[in-house]
Amino acid sequence: MTRRRALRAGRLGRRARSGDSITGSERSPRPSGPPVLRTRSGPLVLDRVALVGILNATPDSFSDGGRHLDPGRAAAAAAEMVAEGAAMLDVGAESTRPGAPPVPADEERRRLLPVLRAVRAAVRVPISVDTSKATIVRLALEEGADVVNDVSAGRFDPALLPLCAEQGVPVVLMHMQGTPVTMQLDPRYADVVAEVAAFLAERAGAARAAGVAADAIVVDPGIGFGKTVAHNCALLARLDLVASLGYPVLVGVSRKGFIGQLLGERPTNERLLGTAAAVALAVARGARLVRVHDVGAMRDVARVAEAVVGA
């Protein structure tokens, strides 16, 4: 971590421990009322928690690898997710599970575009494309994608953020320590929440400097991306610090490894209730979007959690 980022992380950490939120230049200027993501498929008003359904067009994702490689099956799954309450769908063709090797752009394109076309024809909700490559972003936008979800927050491809600005599309900026190949080898932080918040503030600033509108930025703390179980728990417990940056917060905890570890090495297909607990806690701490596999079940969790928070 650079000295500048370390100093900012220290400031954020002190604020987090004292209960203060982030203010001034580190916050996004926001109009009154709920956040609104303006997409080509229409506005996504975040007056309540938005469920983002996961569709992986990959053979090797940790939970559903191979299930949605066929365009017809992907389209059917997309329609089912929307019927269950998904406000947006997230389609990706490169696994970012721990240890996953990078996928060449040609292979990512070959997997992604047929699935994206089929899903776009099947649903009207906004679709985000999960990629870190500007070339894939451009192709995906031509095929009907609305939002860019970049696990590198614009670091892996310097052309990505300017392209999002040029096209006028929202972008999700995620924190990850290292790369998918290295991120879980030995993740370390002095204060994980403060450092993640400082990173996201810096990357949001980079996006705005590239021309992305403040109200087109979403931040994601990157649960499971270069974090231990303790790091993930701390991020959920203090997610309100990330939310105080002023950008909508997306959280992805669905079926993740830390849940399996907390529950005695449960396999991915036995993590539904653990996921429900993590989703409820994320909503209680300020998440406005939750990225999930089990849309119907997590819709109920999110609705109850936000009702309690708003009581």
- Sequence ranges of the domains in the chain: 3-25+35-309
Its pTM stands at 0.89
**Active-site hit among 256, 271, 285, 288:** 256
Mean pLDDT to the nearest integer, 275-284: 98
Amino acid at the residue 28: S
Residue, of 5 and 78, whose pLDDT is higher:
78
Q: Note whether 53 and 290 are within 8 A (CB).
A: no
**Active-site hit among 15, 271, 291, 299:** 291
Predicted pLDDT at 179: 77
Rounded to the nearest integer, the mean pLDDT of the chain is: 90
Residue, of 30 and 143, whose pLDDT is higher:
143
Tokens of residue 79, six digits:
């329609």
Give the CATH number of domain 3-25+35-309: 3.20.20.20
Residue, of 237 and 30, whose pLDDT is higher:
237
Q: Is 3 a catalytic residue?
A: no
Q: Is 133 a catalytic residue?
A: no
The answer, yes or no, to whether residue 16 has pLDDT greater than 70, is no
Mean pLDDT to the nearest integer, 158-164: 99
pLDDT grade for 5, boundaries at 50, 70 and 90: very low
pLDDT grade for 181, boundaries at 50, 70 and 90: confident
User: 173: buried, middle or exposed (CB in 10 Å: 19+, 13-18, 0-12)?
Assistant: buried
Residue, of 145 and 178, whose pLDDT is higher:
145
* Strands across the sheet containing 147-150: 217-220, 171-174, 147-150, 127-130, 86-92, 50-56, 289-292, 250-251
- Rounded to whole angstroms, what are the CA distances from 22 to 160, 171, 205, 209? 27, 21, 14, 20
Determine which helix (DSSP H) or strand (DSSP E) holds 207, and give its type and residue range.
helix 192-209
Predicted pLDDT at 9: 52
